[in-house]
């Protein structure tokens, strides 16, 4: 009886259980769709996504390998590191870890709070380089934009000096900063050499521009930050990139020139790069790059800031965008004219290994060595500044005053004849035509007036002429300056 009773109970329980399992459950349509989405994502993340990532990763690696075969300096694995992995590597760097502990102690905050602050800095700094974005989009856009706005001239490129650089060395392009078009022009210039990793200021930290710039391999820096922890994180990134052989481009002036002259060097990034140098590993080679323009698109903004005596000014990128849109409008109605020449010259490369061997350093003299390197690089940039028609005519007018058109052109031609051929952007055969065209553009912009063959300076645009003349004033021999002033005095009497 007991056995039968127990069996019948089990059968009854099983029947009840089966009945529950076969019951219908009603769900709202939105909840059912949500369940399907979660199921699909779970399936994809476990089975599909890894395979897809592996497939595209393999294709990317093959594409980069083919690309490296035509580049003078191949893309380093450091550039291709996943951004998340690079952030993790950066914040767990021993020097950053120590800086986090020191910052927490100094500020009286928990270390985990300081750690999150360092992570935020790392996320802000680290780029997300995309070879496709850089070589398929950025370089083509840079080439198109540069040639649309300017007649581009590459002066003496010292190809032999550049090719003689140790292939394993880290190359740093060090440039003067005249316009935000500098980024576009140098990206175009370096298209066949390597992918450049720019140090970019706060101006570019706006959506969606920031995402594109990160994809091009640029890293963001806060030029005015006083946080010791921030500078430790930035120094660690620059050190890792330099030691990994990443080709970089920096503007040591720390910002756009307001008066046209080359500004004093700021040593922050250069110091980090020098500190990253290990004589037992790869060399670091600095390549001076001098840029000049017949027309700086944001010149009025810069000269206005110079008059106010402060560096804060608005719409640096906005001004360029508006000017480009205006040029597009002129092109659509058939009245488009290029803004003149834009030119780039290379200076003699400076090997950090050779410099260190010639200037032995200790902890006490390290700062002096960094200052010496910065000064030498700026001297080489100044020495190779391209001489363009608008800066040259501006210089002659400012030093010799109002004069006839023929006299102005003759004096400019005389100066061109005395200068080094490498710094003159306009070829000798077209220098006369280039000067004539520059006069027409300067008159159209209101920098001067021409009536009955007489050229007169527009007094309210004097700072504009000075801005352009300052870019090449240091190249004009003192004898030529004295002659110009003497001729001006004679004309006035």
Bridge partners of 448, per DSSP, are 457
Measured CA to CA, the distance from residue 413 to residue 355 in angstroms comes to 39
More confident residue, 75 or 436: 436
Phi and psi at residue 223, to the nearest 5°: -75, -25
What are the tokens at 471?
């870019």
Residue-wise pLDDT for 239-280, tens only, equals 999 999 999 999 999 888 999 999 999 988 999 999 999 888
Residue-wise pLDDT for 432-452, tens only, equals 888 999 999 999 999 999 998
Residue 93, C-beta contacts closer than 8 angstroms, at least 6 positions apart: 236, 240
> CB neighbours (10 Å) of residue 323?
16
What are the tokens at 309?
């005596």
**pLDDT value at residue 5:** 44
Residue-wise pLDDT for 265-274, tens only, equals 998 899 999 9
Q: How confident is the model at residue 128 (pLDDT cuts 50, 70, 90)?
A: confident
What are the tokens at 58?
């393999």
Name the pTM for this structure.
0.81
* Sign of the four-CA dihedral 470, 471, 474, 478: negative
**pLDDT of 461 above 50:** yes
């Amino acid at each position: 009886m007991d056995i039968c009773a127990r069996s019948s109970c089990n059968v009854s329980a099983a029947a009840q259980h089966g009945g529950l399992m076969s019951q219908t459950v009603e769900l709202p349509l939105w909840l059912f769709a949500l369940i399907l989405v979660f199921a699909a994502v779970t399936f994809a993340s476990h089975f599909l996504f890894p395979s897809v990532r592996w497939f595209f990763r393999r294709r990317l690696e093959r594409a980069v390998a083919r690309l490296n075969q035509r580049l003078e300096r191949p893309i380093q694995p450091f550039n291709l590191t996943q951004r998340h992995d690079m952030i993790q590597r950066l914040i767990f760097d021993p020097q950053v870890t120590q800086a986090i502990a020191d910052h927490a102690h100094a500020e009286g905050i928990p270390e985990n709070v300081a750690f999150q602050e360092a992570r935020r800095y790392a996320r802000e700094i680290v780029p997300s380089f995309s070879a496709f974005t850089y070589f398929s989009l950025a370089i083509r856009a840079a080439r198109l934009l540069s040639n649309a706005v300017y007649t581009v001239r590459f002066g003496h490129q010292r190809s032999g000096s550049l090719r003689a650089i140790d292939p394993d060395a880290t190359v740093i392009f060090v440039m003067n900063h005249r316009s935000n078009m500098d980024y576009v022009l140098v990206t175009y210039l370096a298209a066949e050499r390597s992918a450049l990793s720019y140090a970019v200021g706060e101006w570019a930290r706006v959506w969606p521009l920031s995402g594109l710039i990160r994809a091009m391999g640029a890293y963001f820096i806060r030029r005015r930050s006083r946080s010791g922890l921030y500078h430790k994180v930035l120094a660690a990134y620059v050190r890792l990139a330099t030691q990994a052989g990443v080709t970089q481009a920096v503007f040591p002036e720390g910002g756009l020139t307001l008066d046209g002259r080359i500004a004093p060097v700021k040593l922050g990034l250069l110091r980090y790069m020098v500190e990253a140098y290990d004589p037992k590993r790869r060399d670091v080679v600095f390549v001076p790059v001098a840029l000049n323009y017949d027309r700086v698109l944001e010149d009025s903004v810069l000269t206005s800031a110079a008059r106010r005596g402060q560096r804060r000014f608005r719409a640096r990128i906005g001004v360029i965008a508006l000017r480009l849109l205006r040029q597009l409008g002129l092109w659509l109605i058939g009245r488009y004219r290029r803004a003149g020449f834009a030119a780039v010259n290379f200076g003699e490369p400076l090997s950090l290994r050779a410099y260190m061997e010639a200037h032995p350093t200790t902890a006490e003299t390290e700062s002096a060595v960094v200052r010496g390197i910065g000064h030498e690089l700026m001297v080489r940039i100044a020495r190779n500044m391209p001489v363009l028609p608008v800066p040259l005519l501006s210089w002659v007018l400012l030093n010799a005053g109002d004069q006839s058109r023929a006299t102005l052109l003759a004096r400019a031609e005389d100066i061109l004849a005395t200068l080094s051929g490498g710094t003159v952007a306009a070829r000798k055969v077209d220098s006369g035509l280039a000067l004539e065209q520059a006069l027409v553009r300067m008159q159209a912009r209101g920098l001067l007036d021409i009536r009955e063959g007489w050229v007169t300076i527009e007094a309210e645009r004097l700072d504009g002429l000075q801005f352009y003349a300052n870019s090449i004033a240091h190249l004009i021999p003192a004898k030529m300056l004295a002659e110009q002033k003497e001729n001006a005095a004679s004309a006035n009497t």
